[in-house]
Amino acid sequence: MPPRVDKEKCDGCKAQHEPLCEQVCPGDLMVLGESKKAYCRSLRDCWDCMSCTKICPVGAIETRIPYQLGYHVAKLIPMMGTDSITWTCIDINGNVEHFRYKNRVEPE
Amino acid sequence: MSKNSPKNLDEIVTEIVETDLLIIGGGNAGCFAAIEAKKVSPGLRVAVMEKAHISRSGATAAGMDAINTYIPEGKTPEDLVRWSRSQVGGGPIREDLALSNAQELNGAVDDLASWGLPIIRGEDGQPEYRGKWDISIHGEQLKPIMAEKAIESGADIYNRVAATNLLMHGDRCVGAMGFGVRDGKFYVFRAKAVIVSTGGACGLYKSYTSDATSSHHQTWMCPFNVGTGYSIGIRQGAEMTSLEQRWVATRTKDHCGPVDTISVGYQSSVINAHGERVLQKHYAHLGGDKAPRYIRANAPMEEWLAGRGPTYADTTNLTPEEAKELKTDYLNERPSFVLFLASRAQDITKEPIEIYGSDPYVVGGHCQSGYWVTIDRMTTVPGLFAAGESAGGTPNKFVGGCAAEGKLAARGAVAYVASVKLPALDEAQVAKEKERVFEPLLRGPEFDGVSPLEMEERMQRLMDEYAGGITQFYRTNEERLDYALKHLKMLRSQVQYLYAKDLHDLMSAHEVIDRLDMAEALAHHLKFRKETRWPGWQTRSDYPEIDPKLDCFVESRLNKETGEIEMFTRPYEQIVPGDRCQP
Ligand SMILES: Cc1cc2nc3c(=O)[nH]c(=O)nc-3n(C[C@H](O)[C@H](O)[C@H](O)COP(=O)(O)OP(=O)(O)OC[C@H]3O[C@@H](n4cnc5c(N)ncnc54)[C@H](O)[C@@H]3O)c2cc1C
């Protein structure tokens, strides 16, 4: 399920040698284009693990369900906190649901 | 051809790394192996070779919502082995390995908790069990947490370096070779011992969603784990066990996400088109909802075959609060399933979740396929150890068991390191591998050949149709397997036509080459087991019954002289007493 990059929002993680999405993608799929914007080099090969979507500091990446599997247009937007994550889910009828939970606890 | 691509071999830098212990694959087991090795032997040089980036790689890249095995108070490691054995129909399993894993298990999970992994606890502070053995976690950060600890341990992490072959000294493993998928260098790791922990093999078979969708990797198992860790051993004549025990699982239809979350976590029953509770109605004699895993895994597909599909996990009894909790679980493990439900505007308290089978995988942390190992987790190749999905013999390892086995393999390897010296580097072997690795990239833009994707798709359809894939309801027979083997050989002879346009493509080229070796070994295993012991996981339509003579391990080994795979058996040894089919 391919990630889409919002070209307006993506800043290529400016000073970084590799943008964060490129650093983490387990499939080596995210790359920095010539225009200094990230893109997914092979949409069909994405595993929809959402690592890129979660790590993007400017919220420029969206994971989409391919149309052949799910209808237009649902959204799932993660917001990373230091020890928690908040998700906003919007279904194809516009119904919104929020989820928030701790994803880290104090190490012992 | 990308503009950065090298024109010839001399342009490619060879980086030689000398270390004591090399770990191939910095996933769940690999991170634990690195941490343990540095803990028991702080002065030891440890290197991790990882094709992705350890912070988000492998099976746990998206996170986890449960640790499937953690021994509760009042239960023993023997109890866990008994349960595990019953899940695979009484085995045979390697009870020596399973026991040692079980003894190490809780300690490994406690490590995770102490590193900051949120484990859901009841008011008494004890982990909350969602089934008999599995505890709930909010494991979205599981992989980053393990990675941080591996880095902290002082191991040298080589991200974006994909292993392609072992470095050998006679019959002994003395390192591994591979290439930098970003920096384009050729890497030679010289090591006194090597642990392979590259996870399982995904993509040997076609997934049913790969036709006519924009999603080729809609698979349950991490599609970037392709089985390289097995293939590099197979090529050196390492003994493999039980590859025919493939992992085929019930998964969410059209998405292929985990289903335990629903069926174990929320006790949802499997129902068919007529609303019948499938396991109670058709599999009551095998335990109903508590039937062995392969029976449960295969049930939805059998319903489809019998004309009683679609099949569902019945979630209509959930309260809205429980439905939200269930979705929270998915967000921790396979978040896109929540998006998938939203793309169907599905309220799971009103409409049940559709389920279906998965494509088959080789995963030695679920089934018991993989390297044959000693109790120290050394393979039959001296100096080469295996852990996690890569090591055979112990089914039902999952997150905790793979972590535990990483520790066990590290201890085995550390002890071995002390007993050996590093031989001189075999330059000829290195030169030969460098040439093999970069060949597809150096063939040039005018080359009239085959793309990695073309070859991958040919192989996947071949395996699906002839070696018991999902479109064939997992069934195969002697003639189909012979056909598969014949065409796998032809594909092998076509590797000389593979071309890669850039380094990413070069990785794909090696992935398909490695899968071909794995697929061939698998087909031989399926052919040898002339019975049906684990329907779904291993179904022979020409031998539909269990053959008591085959109550043993099926083994394979490449004869390096003839180039042929040789098959043999090993006896099963029961260590934990009791009825093998009862938990
Ligand atoms: C979707 C999903 C959900 C799951 N849910 C649960 C659950 O809820 N509870 C539970 O207990 N278990 C669960 N499991 C199982 C569990 O995640 C695995 O059994 C376990 O994490 C595997 O660990 P591993 O170290 O063997 O493999 P991995 O963690 O996959 O590690 C393999 C590593 O090797 C690397 N690698 C591969 N090839 C190469 C190469 N050629 N060179 C260098 N590096 C390479 C990979 O990038 C990866 O980092 C789930 C698995 C999946 C896929």
* Model confidence pLDDT, tens digit, residues B187-225: 999 999 999 999 999 999 999 998 877 788 999 999 999
Contact B215 A46 (CB under 8 A): yes
Q: Which residue of B has its CA nearest to A65?
A: B340
Range of the domain at B487: 427-549
DSSP H helices, B237-360, are 260-263, 278-283, 293-305, 320-333, 336-343
Which of B152-156, B208-212, B532-536 has the weakest average pLDDT?
B208-212
Give me the pLDDT at residue B7, please: 86
Which of B95-104, B203-212, B302-311 has the weakest average pLDDT?
B203-212
Across the interface, of B56, B140, B339, the residue whose CB is closest to A76 is B339
* Residue B91 per-residue DSSP state: -
Mean local confidence (pLDDT), B85-108? 97
Q: Which residue of B has its CA nearest to A68?
A: B213
Q: Is B166 in the pocket of ligand 1 (CB under 6 A)?
A: no
CA of B222 to the centre of ligand 1 (A): 7
Helices B398-417 and B28-40: crossing angle in degrees, nearest 10, is 40
CA of B299 to the centre of ligand 1 (A): 26
Contact A51 B61 (CB under 8 A): yes
Give me the pLDDT at residue B1, please: 45
Across the interface, of B212, B328, B504, the residue whose CB is closest to A99 is B328
Any domain includes B367: yes
CA of B399 to the centre of ligand 1 (A): 8
Contact A24 B56 (CB under 8 A): yes
SS3 B49: strand
Q: Which residue of B has its CA nearest to A73?
A: B343
Nearest CA to ligand 1 atom 3: B258
Give me the pLDDT at residue B34, please: 99
CA of B224 to the centre of ligand 1 (A): 10
Give me the pLDDT at residue B447, please: 96
CA of B52 to the centre of ligand 1 (A): 12
CATH of the domain at A26: 3.30.70.20
Any domain includes B409: yes
Any domain includes A107: no
Which positions of A are annotated as active-site residues? 47
Instruction: Let me know the angle formed at the C-alpha of B418 by B414 and B420, rounded to the nearest 5 degrees.
Output: 115
pLDDT in tens, B18-30: 999 999 999 999 9
Nearest CA to ligand 1 atom 23: B28
Asked if the interface predicted TM-score (ipTM) of this complex is over 0.90, the answer is: yes
Contact B112, B142 (CB under 8 A): yes
Q: Which residue of A has its CA nearest to B140?
A: A103
Give me the pLDDT at residue B262, please: 86
Please state, in angstroms and rounded to a whole number, the distance separating the CA atoms of residues B172 and B237: 11
pLDDT in tens, B503-513: 999 999 999 99
Please state, in angstroms and rounded to a whole number, the distance separating the CA atoms of residues B415 and B409: 10
Number of domains in chain B: 3
Domain co-membership, B235 together with B367: yes
pLDDT in tens, A55-107: 999 999 999 999 999 999 999 999 999 999 999 999 999 999 999 999 999 99
Mean pLDDT, all residues of chain B: 96
pLDDT above 90 (res B6) = no
For the CA atoms of B331, B334, B336, B342, the dihedral, rounded to the nearest 10 degrees, stands at -60
Number of domains in chain A: 1
Any domain includes B573: no
Per-residue burial over B13-45, b if 16 or more Cβ lie within 10 Å, else e, is eeeebebbbbbbbbbbbbbbbbbbbbeebeebb
* Residue B390 per-residue DSSP state: G
* A–B interface: beta-carbon pairs under 8 A: 173
CATH of the domain at B264: 3.90.700.10
Å from B516 to nearest chain A CA?
Answer: 19
Last residue of a domain, one of B357, B372, B389: B357
CA of B363 to the centre of ligand 1 (A): 9
Q: Is B197 in the pocket of ligand 1 (CB under 6 A)?
A: yes
Any domain includes A97: yes
SS3 B175: strand
Residues of A in contact with B138 (CB under 8 A): 101-103
pLDDT above 90 (res B343) = yes
Q: Is B165 in the pocket of ligand 1 (CB under 6 A)?
A: no
First-to-last CA distance in chain A?
37
Any domain includes B6: no
Question: Which amino acid is present at B16?
Answer: I
Residues of B in contact with A67 (CB under 8 A): 214
pLDDT band with cut points at 50, 70 and 90 for residue B3: low
For B172-249, list the strands marked E by DSSP: 172-180, 186-190, 193-196, 240-241
Across the interface, of B113, B214, B219, the residue whose CB is closest to A68 is B214
Question: Which amino acid is present at B319?
Answer: T
pLDDT band with cut points at 50, 70 and 90 for residue A45: very high
What's the Rg (C-alpha) of chain B? 23
Mean local confidence (pLDDT), B133-142? 97
Domain co-membership, B164 together with B41: yes
**Which two three-digit tokens encode residue B302?**
């059998």
Give me the pLDDT at residue A1, please: 57
Which atom, in ligand 1's list, is nearest to the CA of B66? 8
SS3 B194: strand
Any domain includes A64: yes
Mean local confidence (pLDDT), B398-425? 98
Any domain includes A60: yes
Q: Is B26 in the pocket of ligand 1 (CB under 6 A)?
A: yes
What are the two backbone dihedrals, phi and then psi, of residue B382, each rounded to the nearest 5 degrees?
-55, 135
Any domain includes B107: yes
Domain co-membership, B492 together with B522: yes
Q: Is B402 in the pocket of ligand 1 (CB under 6 A)?
A: yes
CA of B489 to the centre of ligand 1 (A): 29
Domain co-membership, B234 together with B150: yes
Any domain includes B566: no
Å from B454 to nearest chain A CA?
Answer: 14
Contact B224 A47 (CB under 8 A): yes
**Which two three-digit tokens encode residue B110?**
């406690």
Which atom, in ligand 1's list, is nearest to the CA of B397? 19
Mean local confidence (pLDDT), B462-466? 98
Q: For tokens 């209509």, what's the residue?
A: B316
* Preceding peptide of B352 cis, ω within 30°: no
Pocket test for ligand 1, best of B36, B64, B262, B506 (most atoms within 8 A of CB): B64
Contact B138 A75 (CB under 8 A): no
Contact A48 B336 (CB under 8 A): yes
High-pLDDT (> 90) share of chain B, %:
93
Residues of A in contact with B329 (CB under 8 A): none
Tell me whether residue B490 is exposed, middle or buried, using C-beta atoms within 10 angstroms of its C-beta: 0 to 12, 13 to 18, 19 or more.
Answer: exposed
CATH of the domain at B475: 1.20.58.100
Any domain includes B84: no
Mean local confidence (pLDDT), A18-33? 96
Range of the domain at A7: 3-102
> Higher confidence at residue B268 or residue B97?
B97
Q: How far is CA B357 from CA A41, B4, B249, B538, in A?
A: 29, 42, 6, 14
Contact B311, B278 (CB under 8 A): yes
Strands B475-476, B186-190: pairing is: unpaired
Å from A28 to nearest chain B CA?
Answer: 7
Q: Is B59 in the pocket of ligand 1 (CB under 6 A)?
A: yes
Contact B31, B145 (CB under 8 A): no
Contact A24 B507 (CB under 8 A): no
Any domain includes A96: yes
Domain co-membership, B108 together with B223: yes
Å from B46 to nearest chain A CA?
Answer: 22
CA B196 to chain CA mean position, Å: 12
Domain co-membership, B413 together with B436: no
Residues of A in contact with B116 (CB under 8 A): 104-107
Side-chain half-sphere of A88: how many Cα atoms within 13 Å? 9
**Which two three-digit tokens encode residue A76?**
């799932």
Domain co-membership, B350 together with B264: yes
Contact A31, A37 (CB under 8 A): no
High-pLDDT (> 70) share of chain B, %:
99
Please state, in angstroms and rounded to a whole number, the distance separating the CA atoms of residues B437 and B432: 9
Any domain includes B175: yes
